[in-house]
Amino acid sequence: MLSVLAPYSPFLVGLILLLLLIAFATEIRPPEVTAIGAAGLLLALGLISTDDILATMSNPAPLTIAAMFIISGALVRTGTLDLFALKVTGMAKASPVMATGLLLVAIAVLSGFTNNTPLVMMMIPIGITLAKELGERPSKILMPISFAAILGGTCTLIGTSTNILVDGVAQKQGLEGFSIFEIAPAGVVIALVGVSYLALTRRFLPDRDTMTSLLEDDPAKRYTMSVFIVGTSPYIGQIASQLDLFRSGERRLIDVIHNDEPIEQSHAEHVIREGDVLVMHTNEADLITIRERGKLPLTKNDDKQQFVPMSSHRSMLAEILLLSDSHLIGHSLKEAALPQRYGVHPIAMHRRGSNLSERYDSTNLEVGDTLLLEGAQANIRRLVEGENLINVSEPKTRGFRRHKAPIAIAVIMAVVVAASFNIMPIAGLAVLGMAAVLVTRCIEPDEAFASVDWRIIGLIVAMLAIGTALERAGLVEMMVAAATPWLSGLAPIYALAAIYLLSLLLTELVTNNAVAIVVTPIAIQLGLSLGVDPRPFVIAVMFAASASFLTPIGYQTNTLVYGAGGYRFLDFARYGLPLTVLIAVTSIAIIPMIWPL
């Protein structure tokens, strides 16, 4: 540390932490970028050393979380989760209401043993299918799917990266590590209470329009047609969007190509030139009319051929969800050039509760955006696989290695059983499980490492370094020393409630993994200063840091369903506030019953 800064280290670290939390809450930059930047600043100021950065790699949490991502990826790749999804979809036709309840319960159970992010990604199309069977909007089911996954993740140590991270930080503070099912007695009760709320209150969720609600007809009966403007056309010199050709409600201009390249400007404002190719959308009946007449009927009075049909193909409209690791994130649709690369045309974009149909092509894409795309089914599937997207309009149709499913199931069960008997630390078991699914080819190496959310890993490593700075500066002890006089005269249950509420507040404003690293040391030191077992305080941090039901940004699964369900930001607060209070009361009441204060 620079000697001149040594006396001010607590103040500097506290200031950097405050700025970091503000940056998280305002989303100035992605959270992992913000955290890495803060860690770099601490390193530059000498508040942590290079050895401190390297020491974060000795924490078992990052390796454990990465390995569990790969094991979860193997469950997806072998079709294990998809098989369950197909069974639920089939049941929906006979008993949709029962299927919905079963879906929420099963998601909660599965998320206790698999990473909930890929689980929710798999269940979004299933939820939309169920909503159609029920005659409901997807907004009636997608938010409960995310919340059920969050609740189920709190039942075991490996159910969520937050639990694994809290355990790693607690061990670094000298606390004995948690076993895989140690939190299950309280977690199961909390999950049952939460899932019951979700099952009984779905009718209070709003009816929101999604991108697919823009469709007027059956998507399978839509066609994309290319037409060439001949030199004698009187439409040369006119603005494309004003052509009477497109005054018919059955036709829509979706692109203009000149000299084999799409035009740079908005195609609606393009001035038609000889040789332009207009890509238009129409329905099956209109296309048959065009083919029967051998020309395009343009006006009632003028039936002369002024356009030459070049090609037509059956197309569909698909609603596409952007994931955190999608290759399109940070790029605009114009830069992505989807028509040229995939033969797929963007129609509209949905972001933060609004459907955008104009001037969306130059907007940089973000996590949770949904796109309405039009193109041949094969092209859309090629786009989804090539850019790591989700087609929420239909369940995933990629090939699975179903003959490997028993191996993937056996691996996750072996990890759980071995961890429950403390045969080996969970980090070691996760690595063995990862090795097993790779060696047996349940998942290929490129698929395995693509299934890891490296943003989360980067965020965790950076936050561990920031946690080291908090410890070195003595900031945790200072905060606990300031709070102890206020809490020492109260029953420990109030201190437990304070830690829970602090974690809950921060997890809605910043990321849950950041909360785990910042608040866990405070919880341990507070418990010790009050002369009680710090373990229940750490468990309170685990539960509260995952109880993100008030905003779509506090937890990644909420962000995924935010766009897919067409929700508005405050929809989460309206529906999630009663659940938040219910879970908080249940947690604060049950934790001392199992882990006495």
pLDDT at 306: 53
Round to whole Å and give the CA distance between 180 and 358. Answer: 50
The residue length of the chain stands at: 597
The answer to whether 24 touches 31, Cβ cutoff 8 Å, is yes
The SS3 call for residue 266 is: coil
What three-state secondary structure class fits 264? coil
3-state secondary structure 529-589: HCCCCCHHHHHHHHHHHHCCCCCCCCCHHHHHHHHHCCCCHHHHHHHHHHHHHHHHHHHHH
Rounded to 10 deg, the angle between the 116-134 and 556-564 helix axes is 30
Question: At which residue do the structure tokens 């404003």 appear?
Answer: 509
For residue 587, give the nearest of 155, 178, 101, 161 by alpha carbon: 155
How far apart, in whole angstroms, are the C-alpha atoms of residue 385 and residue 394? 14
Predicted confidence pLDDT, tens digits, the chain (597 residues): 555 666 778 888 889 988 988 888 777 877 888 989 999 999 998 888 898 888 888 888 888 888 988 998 888 888 777 676 666 656 655 666 677 888 888 889 888 888 887 788 878 888 887 787 777 888 899 999 999 999 999 999 988 888 999 998 999 888 998 999 999 999 999 999 999 999 889 889 988 866 655 554 444 455 666 777 777 777 788 887 777 666 665 667 777 877 766 665 666 677 888 878 777 777 656 665 655 554 555 443 444 545 555 555 566 778 888 876 677 888 888 788 787 788 787 877 777 666 565 566 677 888 778 887 877 778 888 888 788 787 876 655 455 677 888 999 899 889 988 988 888 888 899 999 999 999 999 998 888 888 888 888 888 889 889 888 888 888 877 877 887 778 777 789 999 999 999 999 888 877 788 888 889 999 998 898 888 999 999 999 999 998 989 888 777 788 888 877 878 878 998 999 999 999 999 999 999 999 998
Q: 150 near 116, Cβ under 8 Å?
A: yes
Give SS3 for 255.
Answer: strand
pLDDT score, position 326 = 79
Angle between helices 9-26 and 512-529 (to 10 degrees): 140
**Using an 8 Å Cβ cutoff, are 259 and 275 in contact?**
yes
- Can you give the C-alpha Rg of the chain in angstroms? 27
- Look up tokens 């200031």; give the residue: 15
Work out whether strand 222-229 and strand 307-322 pair parallel, antiparallel, or are unpaired: antiparallel
Instruction: With beta carbons less than 8 A apart as the criterion, state whether 125 and 96 touch.
Output: no
Output the pLDDT for position 185.
94
- Residues near 461 by Cβ (< 8 Å), separated by ≥ 6? 56, 57, 62
User: Is beta strand 252-258 parallel, antiparallel or unpaired with respect to 307-322?
Assistant: unpaired
Looking at residue 322, what DSSP letter applies? E
pLDDT value at position 224?
Answer: 67
pLDDT at 247: 61
Please give the pLDDT value at position 219: 45
Task: Please enumerate in sequence order all residues whose Cβ is within 8 A of that of 124, keeping only pairs 6 or more positions apart, or say none.
Answer: 142, 145, 321, 390, 392, 560, 561, 564
Cβ-proximal residues to 204 (8 Å cutoff; 6+ apart), any chain? 575
**153 and 111 Cβ atoms separated by less than 8 Å:** yes
